[in-house]
Amino acid sequence: MHVAIIMDGNGRWATQRGLPRTAGHVEGAKAVRTAVEVAARAGIDTLTLYAFSAANWARPAAEIAALMRLLGQYLFTETRRCLEQSIRINVIGRRDRLSESLLRSIGQSERLSAGGSGMHLRIALDYSSQHSIVAAARRAKDVTDLDQEGFRRLLHEVDHCLYPASEVDLLIRTGNEQRLSDFLLWECAYAELYFAECLWPDFDEERFSRALEDYSGRQRRFGALRRDSR
């Protein structure tokens, strides 16, 4: 099972409490730890988290700098916890606009966790699904026998996806917004969607379990009829 999460609402969480937006991102990092632990216990194969979109570069420079520092700190502190649970870490998205220090942190986390046999944790950083699809299409222009699986492999290449990832089964978005925001558009072709009204720092174990329970009650047909249809 592949679960993807758009972690929306950190800034609003902080603003509602009279705190700087960066405080919301700090609390959001704590919610990430909870989500990873819940997903691993639930037996989820792949968890993809939308940490920073390509569009987020339009935010104030001070907030971007704080976010990048927080991402680096997260990789430094959480890699050991992931190793204890045999979780593989992989950062997907563009890397040409990231700092050298962050790139070193990413490389170290990926190398250290490469032998993990448990859940595959993917962190989408400087990510744009539209950019990835266009980049993959450019690589495919001279391929005459390209099929969907072949194009998926090209997407993995441009996204620096080190391990094979299946299509998304369940997409969760917090923050009471109902849109995909340029996230895994190809992989979410048949994903079940779940929109949580809470802001990301409040997305705790109970709310995650509720989303998984809701998913378990759905019948996925992929364009076919229900089995009991006449």
Active site residue 8: yes
Catalytic residue among 8, 126, 159, 169: 8
Catalytic residue among 56, 182, 202, 204: 56
Q: Which sign, positive or negative, has the C-alpha torsion 53, 28, 23, 67? A: negative
Distances (CA, A) of 227 to 5, 203, 218: 30, 34, 13
- Please tell me the distance from the alpha carbon of residue 70 to that of residue 72, in angstroms, as a whole number: 5
Q: Are 123 and 49 in contact (CB under 8 A)?
A: yes
Going by their DSSP bridges, the two strands 46-53 and 170-173 should be labelled as unpaired
Tokens 């989408």 belong to 124
The set of catalytic residues is: 8, 56
